[in-house]
Each structure stands twice: as structure tokens, then as C-alpha cells.
Amino acid sequence: MPEALVIGVGAIASAVSAAVLSCTFFYVVLYFLLYKVVPVVSLYAGVSLLNNGAAFCERFDLADAALASPCAHDVVGALLVAYAAGAFTVTRTGCQKTMLMFTGAVAGASWRVVANGNVPETLRPALTQFSAAVAALAFCHLCSPLVAKQLGTRKPKYEGYA
């Protein structure tokens, strides 16, 4: 066997291994952020908005939001608390299809908020990045059962939304 062929096959195998490792790392980081960090932050923000929305908006220098009606603070606070509870519940199921439905809904809703143009210009890039990250995680949840089925490595915990 020629030496160049062996080196070429080794280089291709190394590149594929690096790609798989980087995709796995990307998935783990997104999973940690969406299901562990963001729910805690949104629970804090939601409860703060429900308790004293104007003070919360002033503390984080959201001048336009501080002038909103208390009803708007209550609605947004309730939605943030519901998101946090939903994220916690979805992770407890361990079902990739359920996680796909949740992340797809969150990505679609946040993307629509950006598209409507009602977001302040200072928050638009952050919300766009959040939408893209959640959409990427939804794609990972979509691919995960397909890959597991092809490999035959694990049986899904829950087969809802079949």
C-alpha cells in the first residue's frame, strides 16, 4: 500500500473525527444554554416583572419598557415564567421529539418577534442570535433520533408526537 494513500486516509479520518467532535461540543453548549442557563434567567426576569416591572426595567436600563403598562409587564413576566417551566419539563422527559417541538416553537416565536419589528434596535441582534441558536438546537433534536435509529444504539424514552 502506498504511503501517500495511508496518510490521505488518516487525514480524512482525522478531519471527520474533528467535525463530529466539534458538532457534539456545539450541541452540548446549546443544550446547556437553552435548558439550564436561559430558564433560570427567564424565571428571574419573569418573577421580577410580575413583582415590580418598572423597577426591573429601570435596573437593566430598558427605558422604553419601563414606560409600558403594568399589564404588559405582567404578560411578559408570565410568559417568561411559563417558558422556564416548559424548558424544565421538556428536559425531564428526555424525549428528542418533545424537545424538537419545544425548541421549534420557541425559535419560531422569537424569530417572528424580530420580524415584526417591535423589538428595540439595541436588543434586535441579541434576539436574532437567540433565535438562530434555538433553531440550530431544534435541528440537532431533529437529527438525533434519526442518527440513533440508524446506529441502533438506544431506544428513545418517549415516542410522543410520532
Provide the b/e sequence for 37-74 (b: ≥16 CB within 10 Å). Answer: ebbeebbebbebbbeebeebbeeeebeebbeeeeeebe
Map residue 155 onto helix, strand or coil: coil
152 DSSP assignment? T
Please report the DSSP string for 89-119 in residue order: HHHHH--HHHHHHHHHHHHHHHHHHHHHT-S
Tell me the pLDDT tens digit for each residue of 6-58.
Answer: 888 889 999 999 988 898 898 889 889 888 898 999 999 988 888 888 888 88
Tell me the pLDDT tens digit for each residue of 58-81.
Answer: 888 777 776 777 777 787 888 888
Q: What is the pTM of this model?
A: 0.67
Q: For the chain, which residues make up each domain, given as ranges? A: 95-162
